[in-house]
């Protein structure tokens, strides 16, 4: 059985995170801790925060960040409709240059749904 794109992404992300941790100084470690903390449940639920992270990543056109937040959106039970509205906000804010990334979002989303990933 071959690994799908989502599994490969997760494994590669974990491998690279271990390298970052190996070389990270105190300032990098602090930043990574803040990144982890900000997505925890608070006044906003984790689902909303992941949707916000997805919009930000889309506007910044960071494919790795997009994939990470898309996977987290799936884990947080985001619906197709919620994802569509989120992507539409990213398109309005980011403009037409985000369209190639939007194509990849929907491709990955379909893949996750078809393979019951997450």
- The dihedral sign for the CA sequence 32, 12, 41, 85: positive
Burial degree of 116 (CB within 10 A; 0-12, 13-18, 19+)? exposed
Task: For 59-104, write each residue's pLDDT tens digit.
Answer: 999 999 999 999 999 999 999 999 999 999 999 999 999 999 999 9
Burial degree of 11 (CB within 10 A; 0-12, 13-18, 19+)? exposed
Task: For 6-65, write each residue's pLDDT tens digit.
Answer: 889 999 999 999 999 999 999 999 998 998 899 999 999 999 999 999 999 999 999 999
Structure confidence at residue 3 (pLDDT): 65
Widest Cα–Cα separation across the chain: 42
Structure confidence at residue 25 (pLDDT): 94
d(CA 47, CA 70): 11
Token reading at 5: 């794109």
Using the structure block, give the residue that is written with the tokens 């906000």: 89
Please check whether residue 79 is in contact with residue 41, taking contact to mean a CB–CB distance below 8 angstroms: no
Rounded to two decimals, the pTM is 0.89
Structure confidence at residue 36 (pLDDT): 85
Domains along the chain?
A: 5-114 (1.20.1290.10)
């Amino acid at each position: 059985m071959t690994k799908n794109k989502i599994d490969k992404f997760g494994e590669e992300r974990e491998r690279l995170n271990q390298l970052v941790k190996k070389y990270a100084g105190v300032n990098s470690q602090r930043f990574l801790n803040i990144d982890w903390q900000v997505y925890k449940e608070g006044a906003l639920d984790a689902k909303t925060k992941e949707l916000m992270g997805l919009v930000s990543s889309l506007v910044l056109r960071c494919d790795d960040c997009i994939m990470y937040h898309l996977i987290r959106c799936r884990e947080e039970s985001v619906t197709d409709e919620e994802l569509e509205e989120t992507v539409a906000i990213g398109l309005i804010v980011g403009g037409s240059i985000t369209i190639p990334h939007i194509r990849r979002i929907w491709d990955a989303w379909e893949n996750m749904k078809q393979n019951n990933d997450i």
